Amino acid sequence: MRTIRFLLQKEFRQIFRNKIILAMIIVMPSVQLMILPLAADYEIKNINIAIVDHDRSSYSQNLISTITASGYFKLTGFENSFKEALHLIEQDQADLILEIPQGFERNLIREGEQKMFIAVNAINGVKANLGGSYLTSIIKNYNNGIRLELSPATRFSRNPSIEILSSNWFNNLLSYRVFMVPGILAFLVTMIGGFLSCLNIVKEKEVGTIEQINVTPIKKHHFILGKLIPFWILGNVVFTIGLLISWLIYGIVPVGNLAVLYGFIGVYLLSVLGFGLLVSTFCETQQQAMFIMFFFMMVFILLGGLFTSIDSMPEWAQIISKLNPVSYLISVMRMVILKGSSLNDIVPHLIITFVFAVVLNTWAALNYKKTT
């Protein structure tokens, strides 16, 4: 313990000596957590739409007003022909085209039906699908309003109907910020822990102080613990600041027990710090360590379930995600913060993360080559 205490004193002095890096550790994650959830929003608005109205009737004008007043669409073109509207899509000025045929109002009143044409620019698949769904839903509601207007309901309705009332659990307002903030916080904690730990030993190699440590009687596991503990503490500090920002700015209060959350974070930090130390034992320069860690971080993010549900990924990607520690942290963060899950609910995730921590730290200790 005396050896580890001296190593910890050395590490903390090195950390606090560089004021810029210390500020980056605290300030950068805080700024990112304040900005990223505002941009990471799956709710697409301001969809550009071009409308071709051949009817120019009161019904078609009401439909156009309903579409533009929804808040999801922005009218960028009111053309005389479909060819002119298509030119707007080719210039990337429109995402959808709605063509209202001639006789729209007459056919609705006399025949009770009328077809319209919708063309969607599918280069951006997500925007196209959501935009088409929004527009279809608006037209459907507009159609129901016309039906009530033309056929007012009698005292005893002859047409039976089923009314569906939905209730949203854990995120009642379907806010994407509430959904994204726990995942982004998990990613920031991973980045801070992973990058700092992977650069630590490599920096000792570049400066030359690693040779001085190698000739001392310090054992390898003491050396790894001395590198691990300071950044484990800093990781918990960053996580605490993230929770405070989530509460102060976004009003997100963990529904579950904070002790469960911190317990899992403590084990998870051991695994991600062990991975960073393992990378540093293979590298000779900080540049090598940065590139290797950046490669793995990209894989961790894209296959971690932050932006895309793991269940919707291909089978091979789901298998890889089982070896991704970030996926377990993101899942546990959302389970505890949003659903209020207890320790029993996260035990499988906790066991797998603990195995990651043991394997990675043991590998890092064995791979660290110490000469005497």
Percent pLDDT > 70 in the chain is 92
Please check whether residues 138 and 271 belong to one and the same domain.
no
Nearest to 261 by CA among 179, 345, 190, 175: 345
What string of DSSP letters covers 162-220?
Answer: --------SSTT--HHHHHHHHHHHHHHHHHHHHHHHHHHHHHHHHTHHHHHHTSS--H
CATH of the domain at 129: 3.40.1710.10
Please check whether residues 287 and 226 belong to one and the same domain.
yes
For residue range 91-138, list pLDDT tens digits in order: 888 889 999 999 888 888 887 788 889 988 888 777 777 888 889 889
What string of DSSP letters covers 255-273?
Answer: SS-HHHHHHHHHHHHHHHH
Please check whether residues 123 and 208 belong to one and the same domain.
no
Degrees to nearest 5, angle at CA 177 with 341 and 46:
145
Please check whether residues 216 and 143 belong to one and the same domain.
no
Residue 215 has pLDDT above 80, yes or no: no
What string of DSSP letters covers 114-160?
Answer: ---EEEE--SSHHHHHHHHHHHHHHHHHHHHHHHHHHS---SS-SS-
pLDDT of residue 245: 92
Residue 147 has pLDDT above 70, yes or no: yes
Confidence grade of residue 329 (pLDDT, cut at 50, 70, 90): very high
Whole-number average pLDDT of the chain: 84
Please check whether residues 140 and 255 belong to one and the same domain.
no
Last residue of a domain, one of 117, 150, 183: 150
33 lies in some domain: yes
Please check whether residues 120 and 255 belong to one and the same domain.
no
Residue 13 or 190, more confident: 190
Percent pLDDT > 90 in the chain is 23
Residue 19 has pLDDT above 90, yes or no: no
Please check whether residues 319 and 292 belong to one and the same domain.
yes
Confidence grade of residue 346 (pLDDT, cut at 50, 70, 90): very high
Question: What is the mean pLDDT of the segment spanning 316-321?
Answer: 90
Question: What is the mean pLDDT of the segment spanning 153-166?
Answer: 62
155 lies in some domain: no
Please check whether residues 33 and 56 belong to one and the same domain.
no
CA 136 to chain centre: 28
Question: What is the mean pLDDT of the segment spanning 233-252?
Answer: 91
Domain coverage including residue 220: 2-40+173-367
Rounded to two decimals, the pTM is: 0.77
Please check whether residues 54 and 36 belong to one and the same domain.
no
Residue 75 or 224, more confident: 75
pLDDT of residue 349: 95
319 lies in some domain: yes
Contact 354, 263 (CB under 8 A): no
163 lies in some domain: no
Maximum mean pLDDT: which of 15-19, 148-152, 226-230, 368-372: 226-230
164 lies in some domain: no
60 lies in some domain: yes
Contact 82, 118 (CB under 8 A): no
Question: What is the mean pLDDT of the segment spanning 251-270?
Answer: 92
pLDDT of residue 197: 85
Please check whether residues 139 and 178 belong to one and the same domain.
no
pLDDT of residue 151: 67
Please check whether residues 22 and 132 belong to one and the same domain.
no
Please check whether residues 274 and 293 belong to one and the same domain.
yes
Domain tally, the chain: 2
198 lies in some domain: yes
Contact 25, 111 (CB under 8 A): no
199 lies in some domain: yes
Question: What is the mean pLDDT of the segment spanning 345-349?
Answer: 94
